[in-house]
Structure 1
Amino acid sequence: MKVAQLISACLLITLCAAAQKKLPIDEWVNRLKDESKQQVAKHYSVYYDITKIDSTSKIKAATEIEAACAKGNKRLQLLGRSVKAKLFFYHLKEGDSLYAAQMKVCLNEAVEMEDPYLQAEFGRWYSEMLNSMNKYELAVQYAITSLRLHDYLGVENFAAVSIFYLWVGEALLVAGYPQDAIDHLRTGLKLADTLVKPFRFMYTYNNLGLAYRKLQKHDSAIYYFEKLQNYCIEINKPVWQEIAYKNRLPSFVALGMLDSAKMVDARLFEIAKASKEPDDLLIAYEMKGKIAMQENDHQTAIAALLKSAELNNGKNKELLNRVYEALAACYETMGQPEKAYPYLKLIRTYNDSVSLAREASNNRYVFVKAEYEKEQLALKRMTEEKSNAVNKRNIGIALLVLIAAIAIWWLNSRRKKAEQQQLQAAKELELFKHEIINKNSRIEELQASIEHQQHKQHDAQTIGELSRQMILTEADWQNFKSLFEKTYPSFFKLLREKAPGITEAEQRMAALLKIQLNTKQIAAMQGIGLDSVHKTRHRLRQRFGTGTTVELETIIAGI
């Protein structure tokens, strides 16, 4: 009892420790942020790491990665969603079209973003998902497009690209395109790295042999079947060694290599006795008949072929049709067309059905290809329209910015020019003010001189000069007003708004108070007495409702 409790406790502790183990989400997200040429390989490493943890942790990792990526830019968000879609497709609900649809959305968004790396990456993942859902024709279309991007961007920048080529080659072979299959399979072998496991090499050598055999290139077919056989001997795979051995037989017969064909056929009869594969014996009798035909032993050939047809009993129609073709040929060679006719009729019926099936398959493939190209064209057109709209918007913004810049430059130029003019006017006004002050001082000197002059003639000269200095001419006043308005552009307008009905004399008084002239200076500048200055200033105080000159000067200074 205690032992059982101890075991349970240990198990519980282990489970808790596993549950509390923190996943390296930040490290994975940083790998997803990579935008170098090797970015796809780093993205793949994230997925590969997650596949090695338990199912519960996989779901947690996918969810947390998506949440962490959601805080980044659009590209990172897209990567987070794609990782989750792939993980859930293969490890939560295998083959669920919902997650395949999510991957397709990611692929379309990558196309809109014009990001070739993401297009290549998501295109591969989506094609593999389609293949898992038995949508082979469409899977091949997406896969080929993705591989073109792999080549364009450099296959060295992608992880497990050789495996991708090998898979596409096999898919093309199944779809009935042996030459395209050969091209992709051979490229996959050239790029093969440590990620390619032995079983993929076996499949690839066998697929190449089958593809060449379909193209009637039997020398090449034998080469790859023998390569498969030697490889299986090297890695100790006896079952596949037998497959390679017997797959050579049709090519040996087709090339007339009868000694080799007889030896393989004899071995195939031995394999068939212990084999669970029913077709082995059918093929053994078929090949025995065809070997006998090439040796002109028609009786032996017919007996073997009839035995193959008897054992077949309609199970393998393709093989049975080959037997019928051989029987018809054998009877015609023997000059017995009446016996050949029933087989020719069966052959025609079979070929018609095969032709219809092949035509349907080809039509389906062409239709899928057309739909794919139509979809890609629509997506490209939409992307171009979006890009054009963005370009137009950017051009519009650029024009507005340019116009605004020109307007700002023009306004700044005018402002600077106005500031310079105002500054110059202020200097000139200040100079004018000093001239008035100096004139006032001269007047005071002349007045003092009059008091002390003893000669009348000199007195007359002094009085004349005094009168010329005291009286401000109209030209002087206009010059002063011009300088004043440049220095204080809005002064008179604001003054009239604050004191409606203000007289011209009061406006002059206000202007002189603005430049801080005292009573004597104001009187001297206007050529009037001090009493007149006091009266005008008093009326001005009444207009503004002030009791003192200081208050009036403060108001004037603020205008």
Structure 2
Amino acid sequence: MQALYADAQVFDTLKSIPPKNRASQALAIYKANYRHIDSAIAFKKIDELTKIAAELNDKALALAVFDCKADYYSVNYGFNPHSLYYYQKAIDQAIAEGLTVETGIYIFKKGQYYNTFEMYVPACQLYLKAYDIFKSAGPENIPGYATNLNRIADFYYALGDLESSRRFLLEALDSPDVQSRDKINMINTVGMIYRSTGKYDDALHYFNTALQLAKKSKDSVWVAIAIGNIGSVYFMQKKYDIALPYIKTDYEQSVKFGEKGNGAIALVRIATITADRKSYAAALKQIDTAEKIFNIHPKSTLKYRIDMYGLKADIFEKMNKPAEALRYRKIYDAASDSLARINDVLSVERTKLKWENDKQQLKVQQLNARARTERIKRNALAGVLFLLIVISFLIYNRQKLVIRRDKAVLEKQEVALQLETSRADAERNNAKLALLDFTDQLRVKNDIIENFKAELDMMQRQTDPLYMYRANQLTDMMNAHIMTDKSWHEFKTLFEKVHPSFFKILTVRFPDLTETDMRLLSLVKLKLNNREMAGMLGITIEGVKKSKQRLRKKIGSSEEGSIETLMAEI
């Protein structure tokens, strides 16, 4: 099998297809042939793409090399620093080559990578950055624009931010490149959002729209899903006579197409209606059938199993079987507690995402400030032109000319003052945002360094030359992420814009402080922990602690936490 891969020149087919399709086709070829084979063979074949891209002078195809390598590590090793490294390489090269669309695409892919491993905050940051680039480049220029928006909507939907999900879905539906089956899915999801918020009329409208599109496309699977969702709305409204035919059809179609989980959900709803009609024995049989299916998929069906346990407890109470009723009531309570804990975790993630959205809003405010500055400039120019016209027209009256001139000077001074104030506000917002982004990047780099250290430690215990070679590579990559003199200079410049008097006050109050001391104290000012500071400065956590102890002596205090308190006050 490996010999076949080594001899086959499958990437050569890229030479005969249009440039706009090459990168996506290259990724498809890689996934079909090299995704799960030995790494040495896979990377040798992937590196052939570099030669083909150079031969064709195809910059976008060259980026696909990084995409394939990032995917290989992700599929075979899970979350790892190598995938992050290669995604970032693709982003950096796209920026260097001036490829705006590709920059947005690979930022989006890196966000997808974080989302896959449930790292929601960095995923959200990257999704929003990619979305901004897509909007500025023009949605019509982004391949799969509607699909990407749908994925962002799914991201928000999974975390319970239904309004953000709905907003992205509606924008995706307006996109001209939305595919038929994706369109049915998006419309159906909008319906589920309205159903979740109790807006049943809106939910029925979207579910019925999805049903009509599915029938028109002869998509029997989506026809069944839409029918089931329509039945669920009537079920939630307790309009059981209307709901039952829809739900029965949903159950029958789910069994037919092998959608057992969805069929079990429909069966619990049928059991609820059966119990409502006081056919308790029949309802219990239906529940037992559903329970067997739920036990195969315990995690994804927790919400529906809770409903099932509550229903079973109610039925046993009505059948005058208190012991059985109590048993299922306890199971119901335990499952409800588990769901509550999951919701608590998602609530924390939503809080973090709100912070990310607020930061995004700060960027919008920054753009608005720039727009206001431009308007002031245009108004100032218009004012000057108007002044020249007035002066030319009233030249015969010197007294009036003097009055007009004085007024114009005052107006120009006011405009200049407004312009300077607006520019200062914009610079302050720029500095705060840049320092925040810089610090976030340092934190991400610190996480990467920690992964590198762990992998380096493992490799250094190996004697195999291949491991030693990769260990040297990891060492170089790790050193590249530690705060260098250049990055310190960039960091200090941003820091001084946000905290202009910080270093000056330190120099006056503590003249014996060194440049190294200043670096450490600036990180303390940003409230970074010892692990984050150690990673950024390239020293151990113990080294950070010793440096803090030495600084306490320099500033004349040995109290624990005195450095943090002092930095917060400056």
TM-score, length-normalised on structure 2?
0.49
TM-score, length-normalised on structure 1?
0.50
